[in-house]
């Protein structure tokens, strides 16, 4: 099968491409700059802009399936990087191109917590993208993962980098809000399997891991993996952060935005029913922590 992938060079995309090429598929990856072809010829790179339909349509020609993994967690409007452009508009262009070239199979990466009335723009635009997919004529499958972890992730590694040099980690609010992390290889495996599973057509799956951990417990777990016997977690009032973040979030180095705070407080937990559909068990974060080369 020849598969077009947007976001193929990212965290999930790298794991998925490794799996798909091992299964004998050929891949066409959309990138910002032309990179030629891989040495084995299984991966072709094409330059294009997801926000420009004319820039991607020719790249879709001749493919059997489309996988859209593109998503951002933070906006940079001055550089044209917005939730609306990379979530809604990009999806509209990919769906339109797939329909135009008669590519029936379409797999879409969304996010847990997407809904029409979401407070965060991240979740709202992810929902708008989902609706474009659902109302298309394609044989689509939508995945809504919780926090994705694994070697090379951004969130766990960011926390570990901060904890490595200080035995103190400030916590917003009570730290009781929960996460249900899912391993990157589990997410990639679900995408790869879904390609040839008719039962997954026109279905949406929440991808949640084996454990529900409070944010505070997650910090303790990372701290223990770093060999620390104790961790101090002073609390910062939510109300104070809601005053500070709007003033600071335009600075790229500031670690959190209002959207990210909202999503953290809302929690990221859901169903693990996908395990019955795809036939394997989720990997848990506690035993997978040894993969991180800290």
Report the predicted TM-score, pTM, of the whole model to 2 decimal places: 0.94
Tell me the C-alpha distance between 159 and 154, whole Å. 9
Q: Inform me whether the pLDDT recorded for 195 exceeds 60.
A: yes
Relative orientation angle of helices 121-134 and 258-266, to the nearest 10 degrees: 70
Tell me the C-alpha distance between 152 and 126, whole Å. 24
- What percent of the residues of the chain are helix, what percent strand, and what percent coil, each to the nearest 5? 40, 20, 40
* pLDDT for the residue numbered 166: 83
* pLDDT for the residue numbered 102: 96
Question: Contact at 8 Å (CB) between 204 and 133?
Answer: no
Relative orientation angle of helices 215-225 and 155-164, to the nearest 10 degrees: 60
Tell me the C-alpha distance between 75 and 73, whole Å. 7
Question: Contact at 8 Å (CB) between 138 and 63?
Answer: no
Question: Contact at 8 Å (CB) between 107 and 67?
Answer: yes
Both structure tokens of 155: 């969130």
What's the mean pLDDT in 254-276? 95
What's the mean pLDDT in 66-94? 95
Selected residue with higher pLDDT from 38 and 269: 269
Write the pLDDT tens digit of every residue in 83-135: 999 999 999 999 999 999 999 999 999 999 999 999 999 999 999 999 999 99
Tell me the C-alpha distance between 164 and 294, whole Å. 9
Report residue 251's pLDDT band, with 50, 70 and 90 as the boundaries: very high
* pLDDT for the residue numbered 34: 56
Q: Inform me whether the pLDDT recorded for 40 exceeds 70.
A: no
Q: Inform me whether the pLDDT recorded for 228 exceeds 90.
A: no
Tell me the C-alpha distance between 202 and 109, whole Å. 14
What's the mean pLDDT in 177-201? 98
The mean of the pLDDT values for the chain is 94
Task: Scan for tokens 């990919």, then name that residue.
Answer: 94
Selected residue with higher pLDDT from 133 and 167: 133
Which distant-in-sequence residues (6+ apart) come within 8 Å of 131 by Cβ? none
Report residue 276's pLDDT band, with 50, 70 and 90 as the boundaries: very high
Partners of residue 257 on adjacent β-strands: none
Q: Give, in order, the Cα–Cα distances in Å from 16 to each of 35, 184, 209.
A: 19, 9, 18
What's the mean pLDDT in 230-254? 94
Task: Scan for tokens 């995945």, then name that residue.
Answer: 143
Q: How many CB atoms lie within 10 A of CB 286?
A: 13
* pLDDT for the residue numbered 38: 47
Tell me the C-alpha distance between 4 and 95, whole Å. 12
Superfamily of domain 2-152+182-209+270-282: NAD(P)-binding Rossmann-like Domain (3.40.50.720)
Report residue 293's pLDDT band, with 50, 70 and 90 as the boundaries: confident
Tell me the C-alpha distance between 32 and 45, whole Å. 10
Domain boundaries, the chain: 2-152+182-209+270-282
Q: Inform me whether the pLDDT recorded for 36 exceeds 70.
A: no
Question: Contact at 8 Å (CB) between 29 and 44?
Answer: yes
CA distance from start to end of the chain: 38
Q: Inform me whether the pLDDT recorded for 39 exceeds 50.
A: no
What's the mean pLDDT in 157-170? 90
Q: How many CB atoms lie within 10 A of CB 148?
A: 24
What's the mean pLDDT in 52-70? 91
Question: Contact at 8 Å (CB) between 70 and 94?
Answer: no
Nearest to 184 by CA among 266, 261, 285: 285
Report residue 45's pLDDT band, with 50, 70 and 90 as the boundaries: very high
Question: Contact at 8 Å (CB) between 55 and 67?
Answer: no
């Amino acid at each position: 099968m020849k598969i077009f992938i947007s976001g193929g060079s990212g965290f999930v995309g790298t794991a998925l491409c490794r799996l798909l090429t091992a299964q004998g598929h050929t891949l066409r990856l959309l990138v910002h700059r032309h990179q030629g072809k891989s040495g084995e010829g299984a991966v072709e790179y094409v330059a294009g802009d997801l926000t420009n339909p004319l820039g991607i349509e020719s790249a879709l020609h001749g493919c059997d399936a489309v996988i859209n993994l593109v998503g951002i967690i933070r906006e940079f409007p001055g550089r044209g990087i917005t939730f609306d452009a990379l979530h809604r508009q990009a999806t509209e262009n990919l769906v339109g191109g797939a329909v135009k070239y008669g590519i029936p199979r379409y797999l879409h990466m969304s996010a847990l917590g997407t809904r029409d009335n979401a407070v965060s723009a991240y979740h709202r635009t992810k929902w708008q993208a989902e609706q474009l997919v659902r109302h298309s004529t394609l044989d689509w499958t939508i995945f809504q993962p919780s926090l994705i972890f694994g070697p090379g992730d951004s969130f766990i590694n960011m926390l570990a980098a901060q904890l490595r040099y200080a035995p103190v980690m400030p916590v917003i609010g009570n730290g009781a809000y929960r996460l249900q992390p899912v391993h990157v290889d589990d997410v990639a495996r679900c995408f790869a399997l879904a390609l040839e599973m008719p039962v997954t057509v026109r279905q949406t799956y929440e991808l949640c891991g084996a454990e529900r951990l409070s944010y505070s417990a997650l910090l303790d777990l990372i701290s223990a993996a770093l060999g620390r016997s104790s961790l101090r977690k002073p609390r910062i009032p939510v109300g104070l952060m809601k005053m500070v973040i709007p003033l600071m979030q335009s600075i790229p180095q500031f670690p959190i935005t209002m959207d990210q705070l909202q999503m953290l407080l809302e929690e990221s937990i859901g169903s693990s029913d996908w395990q019955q559909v795809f036939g394997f068990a989720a990997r848990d974060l506690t035993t997978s922590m040894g993969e991180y080369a800290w």
